[in-house]
Amino acid sequence: MAYTVNKSNNSASPNQYTVQDGVVNTQTDLSFIGKGYAGYGELIAENFLHLLENFSSDTEPSKPIQGQLYYDSTNNRLKVYTGTLFVPAGGNVPYQANTPSGIQQGDLWIDSDLGQLFYWDGSQNVLVGPPSTTGTLNGFVFEAITDSTATSRNITKWYSDGTLIAIISDIEFTPQSSITGFATVKKGITFTTNPTGVKLHGTATDADALGGVAAASFLRSDQNDTTTGTLGIVTDSGMTVGADNDLSITVDGTGINIQNTVNNTDITFKVNDGSVTTTVMTIDGAESRVGIGTTSPTTKLDVSGTVNATAFTGPITGAVTSSGITLTQSGTIIFEGSSDDDFETTLTVADPTADRTITIPNVSGTVVTTGDSGTVTAAMMATPTQLQILSSAGAVLKTINGAGA
């Protein structure tokens, strides 16, 4: 009479096997023996042996059922059948060069070429660690090293393609054994000096120094600031002042230029005169005039006040003062004459002992001096008068009779 062998999982398909009399059911990797089958002892013994060795072989069982164990003798791995494939049964994870076939979500495996542990997230491999591959260090490596005081220090080394780029530490110290590129490990992140040129590229919100110069030593551009050094602008384009670049100081082939860049605006020079801001000179931008002591010049040079100069060159036009020309002590008037040579005519006066007035008559003529013996003529004398010109010794040098004498 036939009998039925039922699975533990009633929902499995098939969930049972029927064994007929006198035959062996081979629907699975075990032999189910029917009633009255001769030679059943060997088959029963093999069933126990296969279960004992977990079907150990270099090939998977040909008729597995869900939950069946199999020992992969090639990879020395115990595997379990999921219903579709055999997967490692916990403990050791696959160690191979490629992603294991039939990998399930959450399964771990080690890439034997890279020396890294991965897990399968259902669609791709995700690195668990380490961050660096076998033979080439990349990423962070945690170490404890000894400093120059024989104290152990926990640090984090930062590698890129096998090169130590930086060391992260919570304290500054000097390594007991030298580390290339790190004579001293600073608190925070210390970049290597070998190879050179390793820098942080990007935007830093703060820095203690720039180019080895303390941050406090730089001039601010966003607020008022001062400097104890010399400020130099080594370019002919110079500098501009004002929110609209109203004033520029530049250099060109003709010299130094101070220029207002806004049309018709003035340039003024002011001083602090006894705590009073006083304008001493104004350059009128609209009229191209210069005023000294006045903010509204009416001529090319308009001076409101007294002018003191060591010399004037060129003609003097207009009134020097409202009352005349006043020369200082021992003052003279020098005439060059029509020839620009070493000879001049100097007009001076003897030291007066009282106020003197010399009036030039309202006629045309020639001024006669004591050294002139030939210029005075009778025609110059309007009345019958006799004029004698004497020498310093009192001798008569010349006698001139007036008209009609």
For 198-255, how does the pLDDT look when each residue is reduced to its tens digit (9 = 90+)? 988 888 888 888 888 988 888 888 888 888 888 889 999 999 998 888 899 999 989 9
Q: Residue 357: which residues within 8 A CB-CB, separation 6 or more?
A: none
For residue 112, being part of any structural domain is answered with no
Q: What is the pLDDT of residues 7-34, one digit of tens each?
A: 999 888 899 999 999 999 999 999 999 9
CB 158, CB 167: distance < 8 Å: yes
Task: Name the β-bridge partners of 345.
Answer: 335
DSSP for residue 295 = S
For residue 310, being part of any structural domain is answered with no
97: left (phi over 0), alpha (psi -120 to 50) or beta: alpha
DSSP for residue 186 = P
Q: Residue 189: which residues within 8 A CB-CB, separation 6 or more?
A: 158, 166, 167, 168
pLDDT band at 310 (very low <50, low <70, confident <90, very high): confident
Least confident window among 66-80, 279-293, 327-341, 344-358: 327-341
Check whether 405 has a pLDDT greater than 60: no
For residue 39, being part of any structural domain is answered with yes
For residue 363, being part of any structural domain is answered with no
Task: Name the β-bridge partners of 185.
Answer: 173
- Largest Cα–Cα distance of the chain, in whole Å? 198
Q: Would the pTM count as exceeding 0.85? A: no
Mean pLDDT of all residues in 75-82: 88
* More confident call, 392 vs 304: 304
* More confident call, 381 vs 368: 368
Check whether 397 has a pLDDT greater than 90: no
Q: The tokens of 225 are what?
A: 């600031």
Query: Measured between alpha carbons, how far is 63 from 204 in angstroms, rounded to an integer?
Result: 65
Residue 283, domain extent? 267-303
Q: The dihedral of CA 203, 206, 212, 217: what is its sign?
A: positive
Of the residues 303, 322, 356, which one is the last residue of a structural domain? 303
pLDDT band at 295 (very low <50, low <70, confident <90, very high): very high
Overall number of domains in the chain: 4
For residue 362, being part of any structural domain is answered with no
For residue 228, being part of any structural domain is answered with no
CB 17, CB 5: distance < 8 Å: yes
DSSP for residue 183 = S
Q: For the purposes of burial, counting CB atoms within 10 Å of the CB of 379, is it exposed (0-12), middle (13-18) or buried (19 or more)? A: exposed
Query: Measured between alpha carbons, how far is 404 from 383 in angstroms, rounded to an integer?
Result: 7
Check whether 386 has a pLDDT greater than 80: no
How far are the Cα atoms of 360, 364, 367, 388 from residue 400, in angstroms, in the given order? 22, 20, 16, 6
For residue 96, being part of any structural domain is answered with no
Coil/strand/helix, residue 42: helix
Across the chain, what does the average pLDDT equal? 87
Mean pLDDT of all residues in 365-387: 66
* CB-facing half-sphere around the CA of 69: CA atoms within 13 A: 11
For residue 289, being part of any structural domain is answered with yes
| pLDDT given at position 207 | 85
Of the residues 191, 223, 257, which one is the last residue of a structural domain? 191
Least confident window among 83-92, 105-114, 141-150, 279-288: 83-92
